[in-house]
Amino acid sequence: MTEQRGLTLAVSTVIFALRPHPDTGRLTLWLPLVRRIREPFRGRWALPGGPLDPADDLATSARRTLERTTGLAPHYLEQLYAFGAVDRSGAVTDEGRVVSVVYWAIIRPDEAERSVVGENVEWQVADEVGAWGGAAPLAFDHDTVLRYALARLRAKIGYSPIALAFLTEEFTLAALREVHEAVTQRTLDPANFRRQVLAAKTVAPTGRRLAGTAHRPPALYRRAVEIPSSDPARVTVTEPTHPADTDPPKGLS
């Protein structure tokens, strides 16, 4: 193998949590950013992360970053993408070029409350950050990274029960719907949402109800499925093994 001097492998993490928007009060996506204290991009906001310790797995490194910046362990952690353009918006430094493997994570708001906001760490509204949000661009290519992470989250919540990762053990269907609405930025019909969630069987009623609500008390639910891991080592491979000519036609597209 060649000497790869001038190449550093870093791991960054996009950490999502839902909190009320400071102006509107509506639930929105937040994430912690770190102010850079060194060149390049000194003074600019960046995704938390750092160089990969050769003794750590990639996911372990992401978890460490999460612990370091928020004091928390994620309820969902997934690899987003490996960014490796030669010049990632000035990422070629004295130490050379940087390839970043980016993870994204979901943490629960009740835990985010308790989170320790370290020095140079600040939680900000995801859609108001960087050049896309009308603010100063993030360091490196982190504008692109964040945009991609948001797109992935917003797409994935539509076909995967990851919304549950934003919620505590017991929750109402209204709370689950509010997570979907906050993430997708669309209002949903409560009745239809209920019907679809119950049909998907991803939640089960606990039998208990939430009291003191100034209206009819809603039933409480809990997760009925594990939040799926996207770790390739755990991917279940459905194998129809051999193509049988007798197989009934199925769907497409």
Partner DNA sequence: CGAGTTGAGGTCACGATGACTTTAACTTGC
Partner DNA sequence: GCAAGTTAAAGTCATCGTGACCTCAACTCG
| Binders in 121-180 for DNA, by CB under 7 A | 172-174
CA pair distance 162, 239, nearest whole angstrom: 25
Residue with tokens 């960054």: 12
The one of DNA, its own copies, none whose footprint includes residue 136, by CB under 5 to 8 A per kind, is none
Position among 117, 131, 136, 151 found at the interface with its own copies (CB under 8 A) = 151
Position among 136, 200, 204, 219 found at the interface with its own copies (CB under 8 A) = 200
Binding flags for DNA, 187-226, as an x/- string (CB under 7 A):
--xxxx-xxx--x---------x-xxxxxxxxx-------
The one of its own copies, DNA, none whose footprint includes residue 206, by CB under 5 to 8 A per kind, is none
Residue 116 three-state SS: coil
Measured from the CB atom, is 34 or 173 closer to DNA?
Answer: 173
Query: If you ran DSSP here, which 8-state letter would residue 166 be given?
Result: G
Residue 96 three-state SS: strand
The one of its own copies, DNA, none whose footprint includes residue 212, by CB under 5 to 8 A per kind, is DNA
Tokens representing 27 are: 């639930």
Q: At its nearest, how many Å lie between its own copies and the CB of residue 248?
A: 5
Binding flags for its own copies, 23-42, as an x/- string (CB under 8 A):
---x----------------
Position among 120, 124, 160, 172 found at the interface with its own copies (CB under 8 A) = 160
Contact region with DNA (CB under 7 A), list: 7-15, 22-30, 145-153, 245-253: 245-253
Measured from the CB atom, is 159 or 207 closer to its own copies?
Answer: 159
CA pair distance 62, 47, nearest whole angstrom: 11
Helix ranges (DSSP H) in 115-232:
142-156, 173-184, 190-200
By CB under 8 A, is residue 249 in contact with its own copies?
Answer: yes
Residue with tokens 């290519």: 141
DSSP 51-85: EPPTTS-HHHHHHHHHHHHHS---SEEEEEEEE--
- Is 69:118 a contact under the CB 8 Å cutoff? yes
Rg (CA), the chain: 21
Position among 20, 22, 67, 82 found at the interface with its own copies (CB under 8 A) = 82
Contact region with its own copies (CB under 8 A), list: 66-74, 97-105, 165-173, 211-219: 97-105
Tokens representing 87 are: 């010049």
